[in-house]
Amino acid sequence: MKNDCLTSCSVSRTYPTFRLATIAGLLLWAWLPALAADVDKDILLQVDRRLQHESYEAYRKLINIEPDGSRKEFVLYTLKKGREKVAALFLSPASEKGRATLRLGENMWLYIPNVGKPLRITSLQSVTGGVFNNSDILRLDYAAEYNVEAAEKKTDHIFLKLKAKSAGIAYDRLEMEVDPKTLTPRSIRCLAASGMLIKTLTFKKMKDFGGGLVRPSVIETVSPLQKGYRSVMVFAKINAKKIQDEVFTLNYLSKLEELR
């Protein structure tokens, strides 16, 4: 009788503990995908911050190279604030000087001096006529446009598969290779919803821009849809800068030169 009591008492004391452990295990199992998604999203957020300050000004050159070797160059002064506000002013060539572009989320405009009100443009068009489209030139934070579908640690890089948050984004999917030490991209494959490769971006030449920003200073792109053509983006300066919200309005496009 005593033994029976000991056994039953032991079971009664053990059962609640076992049940709690089981429930905790099931809850953890249910939370694992969400925890993994948060970790993956954090990687993408870190990539964004390693590429640029939250609010900054930059000087960069865009070079379009044609199959015959001929080149056309553009110099742009760029301002960005937060995740979804970008403005760019053309400094050269002379034929483009004074033109300016504005992006607010998925909406984009081109200002041409003496033409009247700014014109609406799309992400897949190109104000410079090269392989870089307007979405590339007026780049938002990646985390603003894409969700992380998968993240995988490879031997020498982190592989991210990104899915566009809406149909209006230039590329339906991105496949990004990230340097695990610097958390900056090495390459990005830009894909259509069908899986067709639209272009590949390659990030090169790490540079210390000051203010704690160390990132690739050169981005090159090629596309199987534009064989023989190549475009290069070279960043000369990137400086953290406080910018007023009024700068990112249509009425301010004609006055961007005043901020330099």
Strand pairing category for 107-111 and 55-65: unpaired
Rounded Cα distance, 87 and 250, in Å: 10
Q: Two tokens at 161?
A: 């598969």
Is pTM beyond 0.85? Reply is: no
Tell me, what's the pLDDT at 39? 57
| Domains detected in the chain | 48-259 (2.50.20.10)
Please give the share of the chain, as a percent, with pLDDT higher than 70. Answer: 85
Rounded Cα distance, 12 and 185, in Å: 57
Q: What is the pLDDT of residues 56-105, one digit of tens each?
A: 999 999 999 999 999 999 999 999 999 999 999 999 999 999 999 999 99
Tell me, what's the pLDDT at 16? 54
Q: Alpha-carbon Rg of the chain, whole angstroms? A: 25
Q: Is the pLDDT of residue 28 over 90?
A: no
Q: Are 30 and 22 in contact (CB under 8 A)?
A: no
State residue 229 phi and psi, 5-degree precision: -95, 150
Rounded Cα distance, 69 and 44, in Å: 36
Q: Is the pLDDT of residue 11 over 50?
A: no
Residue ranges of the alpha helices (H) in the chain? 2-51, 134-137, 142-145
Q: Could you tell me which residues are beta bridge partners of residue 60?
A: 76, 235
